[in-house]
């Protein structure tokens, strides 16, 4: 891309900042201490995901500025996505579950797309697509956790909100945003590695569309999976003398059950995503597909 085109990409990205400035203020300025602490807590929670990404990237490590820059880019860009998304929803044009998948998944892919548009990295492989997609998902998961805590959890319940927020929605440092970002990266990485040849375009687009649809369905129906999984445990628990129906959320066993319900939700809601992600990881080891 020529230098003029590169500046046009940068200008287009920065143009969203004034539009989304109220959201930036709400995220980072409403309770800056809580937001800063939650960003650090989220990063610590997602260390397992970070290590998994590092493992995938071990043979051909990405340049550190691009690796860490991808996470930071999504953290800083997320308020723009939020502002655009809620503007569409508030206008009544589309329901939330239809909008959330395309906008948030494109946000996670933006670091990879910007790297390609600006020519910051040549010869991107399918594995590179997975890594950058996962990094985008990691950045989104971190900022979403922090923003929800700073704007909702902390004002309502103070620091005590972390006792249920951590095990309940972001269990074991594993979160669907990272999975979705990595899988969407499979689609884009496959297209890039094949340079648009053969069936790479429809296959790549189909994988990205699958992730977007899964995201929307998760937001529509996912909230029922965790509670249903917990209900299925009530009778077996009663058989051994444990009353789960009246269990307090802040008890140690309550935290364990929140982790259990979150993991079940992640596993069930991504039933169609897992094969695509596994295919991408396994096949990206093939030099003919990697390049």
Q: Which is nearest to 176 in space by CA: 270, 283, 82?
A: 270
Residue 269 lies in domain:
3-290
Q: Which is nearest to 179 in space by CA: 13, 31, 46?
A: 46
Length of the chain: 291
d(CA 278, CA 265): 19
Q: What is the mean pLDDT of the chain?
A: 89
Local confidence band at 170 (pLDDT 50, 70, 90 cut-offs): low
Average pLDDT rounded to a whole number, residues 43-65: 92
Q: What is the DSSP string of 246-263?
A: T--TTSHHHHHHHHHHHH
> What's the predicted TM-score (pTM) here?
0.92
- The burial of 117, by beta-carbon neighbours within 10 Å (0-12 exposed, 13-18 middle, 19 or more buried), is given as middle
Average pLDDT rounded to a whole number, residues 49-57: 94
How many other C-beta atoms lie within 10 A of the C-beta of residue 122? 7
Position 60 scores a pLDDT of 87
Do 202 and 208 form a contact (C-beta atoms < 8 A)?
no
How many separate domains does the chain show? 1
Kindly report, residue by residue over 106-121, the tens digit of the pLDDT. Answer: 999 999 999 999 888 8
Local confidence band at 209 (pLDDT 50, 70, 90 cut-offs): very high
For residues 165, 170, 172, 178, the Cα torsion angle rounded to the nearest 10 degrees is -160
């Amino acid at each position: 891309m020529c230098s003029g085109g590169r500046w046009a990409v940068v200008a287009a990205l920065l143009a969203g900042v004034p539009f989304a400035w109220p959201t930036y203020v709400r995220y980072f300025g409403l309770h800056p201490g809580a937001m800063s602490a939650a960003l650090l807590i989220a990063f610590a929670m997602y260390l397992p995901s970070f290590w998994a990404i590092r493992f995938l990237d071990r043979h051909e490590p990405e340049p550190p500025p691009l690796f860490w820059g991808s996470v930071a880019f999504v953290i800083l860009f997320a308020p723009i996505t939020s502002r655009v998304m809620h503007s569409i929803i508030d206008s009544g044009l589309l329901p939330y579950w239809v909008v959330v998948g395309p906008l948030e998944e494109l946000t996670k892919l933006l670091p990879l797309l910007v790297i390609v548009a600006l020519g910051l990295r040549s010869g991107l492989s399918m594995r590179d697509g997975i890594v950058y997609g996962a990094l985008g998902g990691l950045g989104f998961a971190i900022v979403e956790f922090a923003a929800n805590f700073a704007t909702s959890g902390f004002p309502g319940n103070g620091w005590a909100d972390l006792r249920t927020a951590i095990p309940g929605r972001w269990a074991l440092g594993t979160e669907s945003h990272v999975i979705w970002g990595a899988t969407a990266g499979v689609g884009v990485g496959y297209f890039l590695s094949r340079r648009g040849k053969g069936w790479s375009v429809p296959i790549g687009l189909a994988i990205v569309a699958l992730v977007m649809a899964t995201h929307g369905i998760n937001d529509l129906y996912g909230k029922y999976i965790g509670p249903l999984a917990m209900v299925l445990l009530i009778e077996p628990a009663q058989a051994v003398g444990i009353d789960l129906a009246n269990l307090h959320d802040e008890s140690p066993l309550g935290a364990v059950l929140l982790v259990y319900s979150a993991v079940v939700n992640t596993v069930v809601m991504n039933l169609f995503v897992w094969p695509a992600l596994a295919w991408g990881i396994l096949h990206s080891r093939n030099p003919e597909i990697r390049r």
